[in-house]
Structure 1
Amino acid sequence: MAKLNSHTILKICIIFFFLCFINCKNKKEEKYIIGFSQCISKDDWRKAMDYEMKVEASLYEEIDLTIFQANEDIEIQKSHVEYMINNGFDVIIISPLRPEPLVYLIERAHDKGIPVILIDRKINSEKFTAYVGANNLDVGRNAANYIASLNEKQINVLEIKGSDNSSPVIERHLGFHKIINNEPNISVAYSIKDEDLEPRMSQILDSISVKPFNYVYAFNDNIAHDAWKIAKSKGVEKSIKFIGVDGLYGTNNGIQLVENGILLATILYPTGGDEAIKIARKILHNENVPKNNILNTTVIDYRNAEIMKNQYDKINNHQNDIENQQEKIKQQQETYSTQSKTLKLVLGLLILSLLLGGVLIYSWNIIRRKKRELEISNKKILIQQDQIKTSNDAKVNFFTGLSHEFKTPITLILSSIESLSENNIIKGNKLLREVGLVYNNSKRLLRLINQLLDFRKIEDRKFILKASETNLYEFSDRIFKDFEREAQKRNIDFTLKTNDENLKIYIDRNLMDKVYFNLLSNAFKFTPDNGKIDINIVNEIDNNFVKILFKDSGIGIPKKDLQGVFKAFFQASNNNKASSGIGLHLSKEFVEMHKGSIDVSSKHGTEFTLTLYKGSAHLNSDEIVYEPDLVDDSILNFNSDFEENDFIEVGVPNDEERYSVLIIEDNPDLIKYLRNKFIGDYDVYMSDGSDGIEKAFELIPDIIICDINLPDKSGFEICEILKKDLRTSHIPTIILTALNNKESYIKGLESGADLYLTKPFSFAILSQSVKTMIYNREKLRYYFINNIHKINIEESFGSVEQEFLTKINQIINKNLDNSKFSVENLASELNISRVQLYRKTKAILGVTISDYIQNIRLEEAKSLLQETLLTISEIAYATGFSSPNYFSTSFKNKFDISPKAFRES
């Protein structure tokens, strides 16, 4: 019960403290930020719009309105709209200066989900939420109808338009003229822009020869007032009636000008500022609003001007009263808020002081209980750590033991193969190549296992350095010679240089030649044939260091990957070759055991720099041995490797035409193995992946075997390119890869591969797959060649080859009676070369394109002999033969019967 009370009191204490000191403020309603971009700032009508917005927004506490003034500068207005988009405004209201420049910004806001309300003016897009404004067509129509209602005999109007090309200017003009054009007694004598008002109107009034006008229709009240001033200066203001637009309340605005008799009338054009805020608030509260919100407009003349003025006066008085009341309410709310906070604070402190006394009494019980729980928890964690460590040690020991177990059978395999290679019976036999392949790959597997064991030792820090004095150049030269034959075979410029052949340093030879081996293996792996690899030993006379530089002209390492090359299991982003990813990590560890360092740079290849101390002062006494240590022969002894030439078999010349196989693979051992397996039965061509597509186009083989991980393009890309190209689309393709996941299998089929085999694979299955695909291709050829007359577009199989043959047949049939139609003409119409056409049809049909055209001509002639009464000569010319005799000879060679005998039979 005591524990329960302690918990309860503590919780109540925390809750009251939180309420009193953190949440004592009045919760504010969620604020909505509304921004308005005003295009014109100094105009009275625009000021009235701004005022109406502010008044309407002041009625709602949740609305925070910001008005941006563009001052008739479109670039400023663009920046205002972009600012509102980027700063999270909830609603954007815009009165665009012109209809086009803001379109892309408004559409961007609309696409981001920000409601956009257009006011007064429109844009050349429908991507906005709502439009608010009077119908400017109605404004023009109302002005025209008002003039027409005066029933004067002849009315000549001076129309004064705005100078910009905004939507109100265009629509007020169109609405006015739509009515005027139907009134025979009304005509627009002149139509001018407000920027030309003074010179043009003065010129018209001063000129006797020009047509007079007795009405002025101006697009706003200010323009109409300016026109009246010009007329007054000429003394003709009483003979002209002035009509404006806006109907604003205030000094020198439309309503007062009508009252004073300066304007005959003004067309009320409501600003819509208050309506825009109302619509914005509805949108924020997820209410549906119409896209077009048209405000009513009317004519204000001497009959209703005073009524309108009185209404505006009352509205202004009400607004002043509302503002005064809001100010008083605000003051009362602030007083209430202050008092409420003070009361809550005092109450909170009182309750807190009472609760703290109780908490102090019971807190020691809680602390003691928590302490006991932590002690128990710590004991559990320690037990779990011991269990995890024991489990991990067991797994690692199993892994290490298993790796050691691998070494014994591999060693036995190597010993047995060495014995077999000395056997005189095997030496002259083709089997020697197979034995050599097993031997080299067994040694490669042994090196990988040794690297795994080294990695384990490094992780456990079980390596003991055994450094002995060593001639660095002679040590490097011994390793250099082991790689020299590989360089000669690949025509790589491989050099070893030094500025001091007698330099001796202390190194652990066994560890250091593992470093050499890893760096040189990487250099040869990533350097192309005819490249360059250098080892340069530099004795720095001025200090106590020697540098060993390994530089190659290979693919290099991307700059972003340089920091990670020495991490365990790391692979560079441009490395598509199989790799364990621990070689460079081990090399760095071995060099640092010598108190040295290893650095990497990459520019036109890769360069590794080893920096080692001279002398032995940097080593502990137990790290130095005074008897030379033997280098691990299992790593360096490459002299017993089988030469690559042992795997080369020169094909016996054979006049018999054989099927051809193109193997695209970058593993030299695998490609040699497959070549030697296929070479007895097929013409075998090879590519390392760099020129696979080009060789396929050049050779047009009967079948292609392709790996996925290749240096230039992947096998998926190569397969897709070949299947989409007319020249090679018919060739069966087998994907051969180590990737055996579902995604890779699906991707291979999507790229157009006919078969997907994973490594390790059975050669028997691969060989039978090749035979089956070639057999199926022969069956397809047989069908095509024996159904020439049946292949047409209506019976298309949908394959590329079928469509190709259908197109050929259409072209041949169209030119069937043309004896001059040749293979060159056909190739030109198909938009391919003559050689490509020949190879493609030969691969699909097994016959030349010339024979194919001849067969179609003869099949058609055979049908004509059976079904028509045409003479043999007419049939010969109708099927494109140059003479009846040539036709008869060709027909007899094809069907073993003359045309005449065939018809009679």
Structure 2
Amino acid sequence: MFIRFILLLLLTFSFSCNSTDTKKHKIGFSQCISKDDWRKAMDHEMEVEASLYEDIDLTIFQGNEDVELQKSQIEFMIDNEFDVIIVSPLRPEPLVSVIEKAYDKGIPVIIVDRKINSQKFTAFIGANNLDVGRNAANYIASLNEKPSRILEIRGSDNSSPVIERHLGFHEIIYNEPNITVEYRINDEDIEQRVPQILDSLHVKPINFVYAFNDDIAYRTWKIAKSKGVEESIKFIGVDGLNGANNGIQLVQNGILAATILYPTGGDEAIKIAMKILRKENVSKNNILNTTVIDYRNAEIMKNQYDKINKHQNEIEEQQEKITQQEETYSTQKNILKVLLGLLITSLLLAIYSVYSANSIKKKKRELEIQNKKITTQRNQIKKFAEEVKVSNDAKTNFFTGLSHEFKTPITLILSSIESLSEDNAIKDNKLLREVGLIYNNSKRLLRLINQLLDFRKIEDRKFILKASETNIYEFSTGIFKDFEREAQKRNIEFLINTNDENLKIYIDRNLMDKVYFNLLSNAFKFTPNNGSVHINIINEVDSNFVKINFKDSGIGIPKKDLDNVFQAFFQASNNNKVSSGIGLHLSKEFVEMHKGTIDVSSKHGTEFTLTLYKGNAHLSSDEIIYEPDLIDNSVLNFNADFEENEFVEVGVVRDEEHYSILIIEDNSDLIKYLRNKLIGEYDVHVSDGTDGIEKAYEIVPDIIICDINLPDKTGFEICEILKKDLRTSHIPTIMLTALNNKESYLKGLESGADLYLTKPFSFAVLQQSIKTMIYNREKLRYYFINNIHKINTDNSFGSIEQDFLSKINEIINENLDNSKFSVENLATALNISRVQLYRKTKAILGVSISDYIQNIRLEKAKTLLKETKLTISEIAYATGFSSPNYFSTSFKNKFDNSPKAYRAS
């Protein structure tokens, strides 16, 4: 142990010395153009800004004006799960599909400089190119040269900056009568067209050149200089970069009259990427400021950029020094850890050598003492085992005796109910249903008690097989009939087939009845409505065996659970039903008592196969009886003509004068009981759990009563989904469950349940709880309708309903002057149906949505009458009324005063 401790300590030090750095966020940038100075400045700004964040790993991909290359770069970033993708597209359309693919996969996408023909991106960063064109035109107009004749040189591609700079420029030129664009060419035609234009200045003179960027303007100036006409023309470019032969220097040198500052946005792109990674809110459009740079401010701009560049260089130098210091610190720290580890190891080895010497001396004495302790403990364990056996026997006898005591009153209840039914003592159908409910559940309780007693007998090996010759087809048919009504109710295809109706085998009818019942009960429990359950009895003529197959089309058993289904108290991982877990265990024991086998398979449902011997050679004489043995008839069938499909809603019409209740429960008896109790006072709707959420959306009830153990989703999941959905978030929910532990109670409250009742529950408590919740909902509704003016400013509501009403008010106010704005328009804007909108607002406010819209219009009109000098007709149209007469009528109906009289008062 001591050596292991030393090795563990050394491994710990080794691990700490080689620990990896924290994971970095991957940010990728696809740059459309690689050789342009402006693009290089953008790349540099990104790299400098990224160096300020130690958790960023920035990769810049150069597109080289190749759209297909850019597509492959973005695909690479998607496949390698980059955290943020930044793209500067060459043109608006080609990259749309791959950018939308990244956005749909949840990867934030930032568009820089140039736009795309889609809104599927997280943020856009760039200057307003319309303003760039406007600034250039306004600058020419400010020089006041009359007339001003312009040569406009555009970019050759169809990118958004080319289009918008052109549009912004002509937007101003259009309103200036003394300014005309004499020539308009593309940058790819400069070498051919500009000399021709300059040679014809005496015919069609120009005095301004407006170029797409500074580089194009400079190239044009060189051609003009070669012609000797550069002094007579003012050149205006775009970009305003600092540095040799860039915009600001060209202005200072008198080559350009002006350049329009066009920020690259590289640093802003990294800042917004960091905000996204930190889960902060970012604007969809982030517009950078532009300005004109001419002889008046070129020197100032140059000085500012020089200072910025100097500051950036200092930052880079500091970052490099910090990196070197961190590497030095890391190396020294690791060396220190290794030295410390070696020191501790040496110390521990020295201690261990002393410890070993003393330990060997004490070992013999400790072993002697330990032997004495083991002997004493063995005697104590033997004594405790005897005491535990006595205690267990006492508990088992108590349990068995108590179970037998249960049987007597249950049998008396069943007998009394049978007598009432046989003598036609019950005339009232409703009372007959109640009595039938008591009878069926008493039968169920008696069968469960019998299974517990059988389990006890199996554990003690006290069962004695009493097999008699039995026609297995007739025996099976008798039990088959007990389940026929259940099959009819649920439209389940229930069939029994055999290849030999006269086959007789030796079985203990009482035990085999329990095997059949367990297998068929499970089949019906896990088979959905409209499914199938088949029994096939096969006489294998060439062998000494009979096979009985029970096959259903239910949910099946997971492959990993098949080997454990016959273990006591085992439940499959996909079993959401409440069960004891001993039925299949007993079935296996009973079949093996017949020297037979039971097998299970699961594919498109579950199939159990019983294999039983023919004849009686496999049985001892004590296990055979030669007179007919009665099947256990202690549980008889009650006349169930009153039964109905409790999940089918017949004649349920939504009544505005009654509150509605949706019961989500898969126990047919409990559904029947609650519906019969509540049907007179409430509109009752039911669901077996498979369509509970859909019914809640469709009905929008006033109260939901929900069980926890349901076939599809649990009650916790249903409650959480409904509470988070705008359409149903306001509905009070009562959870009914047999789970009464603290964890389940807390989970119910966390899922949004308003009340948690455990079974068995008092109906009086449930009924009063429903009334209390409806009363509280009415109080909340009164508060909403009387404080509706506070919804946008008061945070005291603190619920989805506040956001819902705020959104309604916002949409109504945006369309206040639109007389054609309707409830359908409002429902569309909220992305819910008209019926759901009506029921939601009716439940919260107590008024219809159309009346609510009308009230907001009238309240606004009232304010305008009081605070403005608009005419009554103007106010009528401003608040969305189709005519002044209709407005006056509606105003008088609500406020008992005409608009004119109200203003006069």
TM range (shorter): 0.5 to 0.7
User: Could you tell me which amino acid in structure 2 is paired with residue 556 of structure 1?
Assistant: G
CA drift at 1:373:
8.8
Aligned-pair identity in percent equals 75
In structure 2, the residue matched to 1:719 is: 719
User: Could you tell me which amino acid in structure 2 is paired with residue 450 of structure 1?
Assistant: N
Q: Is the 8 A contact 2:13 2:338 kept in 1?
A: no
Tell me: CA distance 1:752–1:808, structure 2 relative to 1, closer, same or farther (3 Å). Answer: same
CA shift digits 1:225-256 (9 cap, x unpaired): xxxxxxxxxxxxxxxxxxxxxxxxxxxxxxxx
C-alpha separation in 2, matches of 1:465 and 1:688? 41
In structure 2, the residue matched to 1:406 is: 406
In structure 2, the residue matched to 1:775 is: 775
CA drift at 1:473:
0.7
In structure 2, the residue matched to 1:548 is: 548
1:284 equivalent in alignment to 2:283? no
C-alpha separation in 1, matches of 2:844 and 2:415? 51
Taking the TM superposition and a 5 Å limit, the aligned residue runs for 1:367-446 are 380-422=380-422, 424=424, 426-446=426-446
Q: Is the 8 A contact 2:13 2:337 kept in 1?
A: no
More moved, 428-437 vs 838-847? 838-847
CA drift at 1:279:
7.0
CA shift digits 1:741-791 (9 cap, x unpaired): 111111111111111111111111111211222222222333333444443
Q: Is the 8 A contact 1:649 1:676 kept in 2?
A: no
Q: Is the 8 A contact 2:413 2:442 kept in 1?
A: yes
CA drift at 1:877:
2.4
C-alpha separation in 1, matches of 2:902 and 2:480? 81
In structure 2, the residue matched to 1:645 is: 644
More moved, 823-832 vs 528-537? 823-832
In structure 1, the residue matched to 2:175 is: none
Q: Is the 8 A contact 1:651 1:679 kept in 2?
A: no
CA shift digits 1:55-81 (9 cap, x unpaired): xxxxxxx9xxxxxxxxxxxxxxxxxxx
User: Could you tell me which amino acid in structure 1 is paired with residue 629 of structure 2?
Assistant: D
More moved, 649-658 vs 806-815? 649-658
1:678 equivalent in alignment to 2:732? no
Q: Is the 8 A contact 1:32 1:90 kept in 2?
A: no
C-alpha separation in 2, matches of 1:645 and 1:471? 34
In structure 2, the residue matched to 1:754 is: 754
CA shift digits 1:401-443 (9 cap, x unpaired): 0100000011111112222334545233421111111111011
User: Could you tell me which amino acid in structure 2 is paired with residue 748 of structure 1?
Assistant: G
1:566 equivalent in alignment to 2:563? no
Q: Is the 8 A contact 1:817 1:878 kept in 2?
A: yes
Q: Is the 8 A contact 1:510 1:630 kept in 2?
A: yes
CA shift digits 1:494-539 (9 cap, x unpaired): 1111111111111111111110011001001111111111111111
Q: Aligned with 1:633: secondary structure?
A: coil
Q: Is the 8 A contact 2:865 2:875 kept in 1?
A: yes
In structure 2, the residue matched to 1:532 is: 532
In structure 1, the residue matched to 2:488 is: 488
Tell me: CA distance 1:615–1:876, structure 2 relative to 1, closer, same or farther (3 Å). Answer: same
In structure 2, the residue matched to 1:497 is: 497
Q: Aligned with 1:541: secondary structure?
A: coil
Tell me: CA distance 1:641–1:106, structure 2 relative to 1, closer, same or farther (3 Å). Answer: same
1:791 equivalent in alignment to 2:845? no
In structure 1, the residue matched to 2:623 is: 623
CA drift at 1:804:
1.2
Q: Is the 8 A contact 1:534 1:550 kept in 2?
A: yes
C-alpha separation in 1, matches of 2:670 and 2:792? 44
User: Could you tell me which amino acid in structure 2 is paired with residue 645 of structure 1?
Assistant: E
In structure 2, the residue matched to 1:608 is: 608
Tell me: CA distance 1:507–1:574, structure 2 relative to 1, closer, same or farther (3 Å). Answer: same
C-alpha separation in 1, matches of 2:805 and 2:733? 21
Q: Aligned with 1:731: secondary structure?
A: coil
CA shift digits 1:452-504 (9 cap, x unpaired): 10011111111111111111111111111111111111111111111111111
Q: Aligned with 2:735: secondary structure?
A: strand
C-alpha separation in 1, matches of 2:404 and 2:509? 22
Tell me: CA distance 1:878–1:419, structure 2 relative to 1, closer, same or farther (3 Å). Answer: same
Tell me: CA distance 1:398–1:802, structure 2 relative to 1, closer, same or farther (3 Å). Answer: same
More moved, 638-647 vs 791-800? 638-647
Q: Is the 8 A contact 2:489 2:644 kept in 1?
A: no
Tell me: CA distance 1:550–1:28, structure 2 relative to 1, closer, same or farther (3 Å). Answer: closer
Q: Is the 8 A contact 1:440 1:642 kept in 2?
A: no
C-alpha separation in 1, matches of 2:675 and 2:8? 75
C-alpha separation in 2, matches of 1:31 and 1:713? 50
User: Could you tell me which amino acid in structure 1 is paired with residue 749 of structure 2?
Assistant: L
CA shift digits 1:261-295 (9 cap, x unpaired): xxxxxxxxxxxx9999987542313499xxxxxxx
Tell me: CA distance 1:591–1:124, structure 2 relative to 1, closer, same or farther (3 Å). Answer: farther
C-alpha separation in 2, matches of 1:801 and 1:655? 24
CA drift at 1:554:
0.5
Q: TM-score, normalised by structure 1?
A: 0.60
Gaps of 5+ in 1: 1-21, 34-61, 63-84, 93-104, 111-122, 128-272, 289-340, 342-346
CA shift digits 1:164-221 (9 cap, x unpaired): xxxxxxxxxxxxxxxxxxxxxxxxxxxxxxxxxxxxxxxxxxxxxxxxxxxxxxxxxx
Q: Is the 8 A contact 2:649 2:685 kept in 1?
A: no
Q: Is the 8 A contact 1:499 1:537 kept in 2?
A: yes
User: Could you tell me which amino acid in structure 2 is paired with residue 631 of structure 1?
Assistant: I
Q: Is the 8 A contact 2:661 2:701 kept in 1?
A: yes
In structure 1, the residue matched to 2:522 is: 522
C-alpha separation in 2, matches of 1:786 and 1:91? 66
- Largest Rg, 1 or 2: 1
Tell me: CA distance 1:408–1:279, structure 2 relative to 1, closer, same or farther (3 Å). Answer: closer
In structure 1, the residue matched to 2:701 is: 701
Q: Aligned with 1:491: secondary structure?
A: coil
Taking the TM superposition and a 5 Å limit, the aligned residue runs for 1:78-89 are none
C-alpha separation in 1, matches of 2:652 and 2:812? 41
Q: Is the 8 A contact 2:421 2:639 kept in 1?
A: no
Tell me: CA distance 1:476–1:422, structure 2 relative to 1, closer, same or farther (3 Å). Answer: closer
In structure 2, the residue matched to 1:143 is: none
Q: Aligned with 1:634: secondary structure?
A: coil
Q: Aligned with 2:756: secondary structure?
A: strand
Taking the TM superposition and a 5 Å limit, the aligned residue runs for 1:159-170 are none
In structure 1, the residue matched to 2:665 is: 665
C-alpha separation in 1, matches of 2:890 and 2:877? 13
Q: Aligned with 2:538: secondary structure?
A: strand
User: Could you tell me which amino acid in structure 1 is paired with residue 488 of structure 2?
Assistant: Q
CA drift at 1:615:
0.8
More moved, 407-416 vs 893-902? 893-902
Q: Is the 8 A contact 1:690 1:712 kept in 2?
A: yes
Q: Is the 8 A contact 1:793 1:806 kept in 2?
A: no
CA drift at 1:379:
5.6
CA drift at 1:596:
0.7
Q: Aligned with 2:483: secondary structure?
A: helix
User: Could you tell me which amino acid in structure 2 is paired with residue 680 of structure 1?
Assistant: G
Gaps of 5+ in 2: 25-50, 56-326, 343-352
In structure 2, the residue matched to 1:843 is: 843
More moved, 646-655 vs 439-448? 646-655
Tell me: CA distance 1:866–1:480, structure 2 relative to 1, closer, same or farther (3 Å). Answer: same
Taking the TM superposition and a 5 Å limit, the aligned residue runs for 1:113-132 are none
User: Could you tell me which amino acid in structure 2 is paired with residue 698 of structure 1?
Assistant: E
C-alpha separation in 2, matches of 1:646 and 1:31? 71
Question: What RMSD over aligned residues (CA atoms) do the two structures have, in Å?
Answer: 4.1
CA shift digits 1:656-693 (9 cap, x unpaired): 63211111111111111111111101111111111111
C-alpha separation in 2, matches of 1:572 and 1:403? 27
Tell me: CA distance 1:689–1:655, structure 2 relative to 1, closer, same or farther (3 Å). Answer: closer
Q: Is the 8 A contact 1:433 1:646 kept in 2?
A: no
Matched pairs, number: 596
User: Could you tell me which amino acid in structure 1 is paired with residue 618 of structure 2?
Assistant: H
Q: Aligned with 2:464: secondary structure?
A: coil
CA drift at 1:620:
0.6
Taking the TM superposition and a 5 Å limit, the aligned residue runs for 1:500-515 are 500-515=500-515
User: Could you tell me which amino acid in structure 2 is paired with residue 284 of structure 1?
Assistant: V
